[in-house]
Amino acid sequence: MRFSVLVEVRLRPGIADPQGATIERALPALGFSGVDQVRVGKAVRFLIDAADEASARAEAQDMAERLLANPVIEEAEVTVRADGKPDAAS
Amino acid sequence: MTTRIGVVVFPGSNCEHDVVRAVQLVGGADAELVFHDRRQLSGVDAVVLPGGFAHGDYLRPGALARFSPVMEAVAKFAAEGGPVVGICNGFQVLTEAGLLPGALQKNAGLRFLCTVVPVTVVSDRSVLTAHLTPGERLSLPINHFEGNYTCDDGTLDMLRSAGRIVLRYADNPNGSVDDIAGVCNDAGNVVGLMPHPERACDELLGNTDGAGLIGSLVASATSGRGALSRSS
């Protein structure tokens, strides 16, 4: 079966995020108030052939730990869907 | 036989020729380029991972370079006690490869920094600082966007107590924790630093403060010869 996968990579809590801080400072200038704790991360999307959803998830988790995220500063969250369309993970 | 320094070239490295020139000029060593797809280091006495943008810095600096075939040989060489120095992007590769602790994040000010900064030698128990005196002040070029050294508190305590902080910025330019500009492994034979000593080795360029570091590396490589297994 074909699954669509979304891996969200973000900085671990407590790791300074200069990009998030810059965006947070910029938003009030555009009139957006009350915004707090902005964090910037990465989204990696792909399709994968796997026997079932659990093995697709396990593969994606392994990729996240070994390549997509740097465990020293980042954590990853994996979302798997069974519809297998390129944009389905969005 | 002259000491031989291997300088690794990844797709996107761009400081390899500066390093070759510096080790020849300062240390009188032979230098050779070692391409990323090689599985052997063919008997070099030290390895330098130079600056640049290996694999375009895609995903994260060093994230893809660490899986190059040559890195297995570099890890083996390091485990055998061979001197390994990562400069700038090379430092990022060494942290991604797990040969040095911590990680290098985007600069705190979100600016690419290209300037000369004062740096203090903190420890002389690394191959890069063996011939320098702790407390010595150097003026070295930096040239990076992701040089903000980060590690957890436990790692920082360990680095401090073990004397593994090799260089500190006198005036922290990038937000690095504890002003760290360079660290080494426990044995002192693997060193990573963000400043570029190879660009400060020639009087023609107006700064020779990097010569002591490059000279220490070549001297360490020379004195380590024969002590290392040459199987790699």
Among this protein's residues, is B88 annotated catalytic? Answer: yes
The ipTM is: 0.82
The pLDDT of residue A87 = 55
Beta carbons of B105 and A73 less than 8 Å apart:
yes
- Burial of B14 from C-beta contacts in 10 A (0-12 / 13-18 / 19+): middle
In Å, what is the CA distance from A50 to each residue of A65, A84, B171? Answer: 19, 11, 52
Q: Residue A4: which H helix or E strand, with range?
A: strand A2-11
Cβ separation A68–B175 shorter than 8 A: no
CATH number, span A2-13+40-81: 3.30.1280.10
Domain locations along chain A: 2-13+40-81
Q: Which of B153, B131, B84, B199 is nearest to A14 (CA)?
A: B153
- Between CA B179 and CA B181 the distance in angstroms is 6
Could you report the per-residue pLDDT of B101-159, keeping only the tens digit for each?
999 999 998 999 999 999 999 999 999 999 999 999 999 999 999 999 999 999 999 99
**Residue B160: both structure tokens together:** 């401090």
Chain A contacts of B103, Cβ < 8 Å?
70, 72-73
Per DSSP, the residues of chain B read: ---EEEEEE-TTB--HHHHHHHHHHHH--EEEEEETT-S--TT-SEEEE--B-GGGG-SSTTTTGGGSHHHHHHHHHHHTT--EEEETHHHHHHHHTTSSSSEEEPPTT---EEEEEEEEE--S-STTTTTS-TT-EEEEEEEESS-EEE--HHHHHHHHHTT-EEEEESS-SS--GGGEEEEE-TTS-EEEESS-GGGSSBGGGTB-TTHHHHHHHHHHHHHTTTTS----
Query: Can you give the pLDDT at residue B231?
Result: 39
Task: Tell me which amino acid residue A72 is.
Answer: V
**Catalytic member of B36, B55, B88, B184:** B88
Q: What percent of chain A has pLDDT over 90?
A: 82
Marked catalytic residue, from B55, B144, B198, B201: B198
- For B67-106, how does the pLDDT look when each residue is reduced to its tens digit (9 = 90+)? 999 999 999 999 999 999 999 999 999 999 999 999 999 9
Using CA coordinates, name the residue in chain B closest to A9.
B59
Domain layout of chain B by residue ranges:
4-223
Q: Does domain B4-223 have CATH number 3.40.50.880?
A: yes
CB within 8 A of B230, min separation 6: which ones?
B43
Which chain A positions have a beta carbon within 8 Å of B150's beta carbon? Answer: 15-16, 72-73
Residue A16's pLDDT band (cuts 50, 70, 90)? confident
Looking at residue B42, its pLDDT comes to 87
Q: What is the pLDDT of residue B230?
A: 41
